[in-house]
């Protein structure tokens, strides 16, 4: 069994997948861009990086393996430990270790661990089916030059008959000019009428406002003002406290967090049937990360969940 396959599956849905005791693989969204030197268009994608400092087990990978392999949670953790041991052995013996379809880990000249991600896999599901392509320039000046050359080779000559037709052409132009001037005069008259109507409307509105201001309204028993404070959490960035197989246990966790002062709630069950409890939800990534750093002081198993739009 290759644990890298499960890490790859999770990178399509999450932005942080921790390999307990070894490090974490981070997926950050990158916008589409054009390489001006090669005229190549690159679609949006997730850029994969590696962080050696994040080694705490958040339960995400182990829960996924336990669900797919139909084994116990502790058995899944044992599988992960064996895989980490194989990675460490490969780095010590060959100075490198490859994770299929994710990237390659290697030790540099200073024995520091480096990571080189693969470039042929796009973990952004929104870009499914999109590929890199090269844009070709449009040569409009070439066609313009060809038209100019044709005009030079085909000069226009006038005959007596064409001169007579020109007289009729100028007469037609004169009629059109008269029609345009008449139309312009009509537009001027219409514009004056419109301005007059607007002025009359403004005057009527002014009189109405003066009458309203002069009126007096008396309320003997005014009703007290009622203020409603509605707190609503929204956003696609969630700080997750844990995922539970039994919904009652998840609700108990929500009650505990609320008692501690958190704005906890049930996010709902994911595709694996686990009921997710979140500390809070946020509109921006920065707000969610700041909240995650705060709650990790008391809960190392908290993680960031990003729901796709």
For the stretch 73-131, pLDDT in tens is 999 999 999 999 999 999 889 889 999 889 999 998 888 899 999 888 887 776 666 66
Whether residue 190 has pLDDT greater than 60: no
Note whether 117 and 101 are within 8 A (CB). Answer: no
Tens-place pLDDT, residues 31-78: 876 776 776 767 788 889 999 899 999 999 999 999 998 999 999 999
pLDDT at 237: 87
Q: DSSP E strands: which ranges in the chain? A: 16-19, 23-30, 33-35, 40-42, 45-51, 96-99, 103-107, 113-117, 133-134, 237-244, 265-269, 275-282, 303-306
Question: Is the pLDDT assigned to residue 228 strictly greater than 50?
Answer: no
Q: What DSSP element (H or E) covers 235? A: none
Candidate from 30-39, 159-168, 248-257, 300-309 with smallest mean pLDDT: 159-168
Is residue 9 over pLDDT 70?
yes
Task: Please tell me which residue, 167 or 2, carries the higher pLDDT value.
Answer: 2
**Coil vs helix vs strand at 108:** coil
Mean pLDDT of the chain: 77
Q: Sign (positive/negative) of CA torsion 151, 154, 158, 163?
A: negative
254 touches 216 (CB < 8 A): no
Q: Is the pLDDT of residue 139 over 80?
A: no
Q: Considering only 65-74, 176-185, 197-206, which range has the smallest mean pLDDT?
A: 176-185
- 3-state SS assignment for residue 267: strand
Mean pLDDT of the 7-23 span: 91
* 30 pLDDT higher than 90: no
pTM beyond 0.75: the answer is no
Entry field: residues in the chain:
309
Evaluate if residue 230 carries a pLDDT over 50.
no
Q: What is the mean pLDDT of residues 271-290?
A: 87
């Amino acid at each position: 069994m290759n644990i890298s396959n499960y890490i790859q599956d999770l990178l399509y849905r999450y932005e942080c997948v921790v390999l307990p005791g070894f490090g974490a693989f981070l997926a950050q969204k990158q916008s589409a861009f054009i390489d001006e030197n090669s005229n190549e268009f690159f679609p949006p994608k997730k850029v994969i990086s590696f962080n050696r400092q994040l080694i705490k087990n958040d339960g995400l990978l182990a829960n996924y393996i336990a669900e797919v392999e139909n084994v116990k949670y502790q058995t899944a953790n044992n599988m992960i430990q064996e895989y980490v041991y194989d990675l460490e052995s490969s780095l010590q013996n060959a100075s490198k270790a490859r994770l299929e379809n994710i990237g390659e880990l290697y030790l540099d000249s200073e024995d520091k661990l480096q990571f080189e991600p693969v470039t042929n896999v796009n973990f952004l599901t929104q870009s499914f089916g999109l590929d890199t392509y090269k844009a070709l320039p449009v040569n409009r000046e070439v066609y313009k030059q060809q038209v100019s050359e044709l005009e030079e080779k085909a000069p226009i000559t006038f005959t007596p008959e064409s001169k007579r037709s020109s007289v009729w052409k100028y007469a037609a132009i004169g009629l059109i000019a008269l029609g345009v001037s008449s139309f312009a005069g009509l537009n001027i008259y219409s514009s004056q009428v419109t301005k007059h109507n607007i002025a009359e409307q403004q005057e009527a509105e002014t009189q109405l406002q003066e009458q309203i201001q002069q009126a007096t309204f008396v309320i003997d028993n005014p009703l007290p003002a009622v203020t409603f404070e509605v707190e609503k959490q929204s956003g696609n960035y969630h700080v997750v406290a844990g995922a539970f197989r039994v919904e009652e246990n998840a609700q108990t966790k929500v009650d505990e967090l609320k008692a501690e002062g958190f704005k906890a709630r049930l996010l709902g069950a994911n595709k694996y049937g686990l009921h997710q409890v979140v500390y809070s939800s946020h509109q921006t990534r920065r707000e969610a990360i700041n909240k995650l750093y705060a709650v990790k002081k008391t809960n190392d198993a908290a993680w960031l969940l990003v729901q796709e739009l």
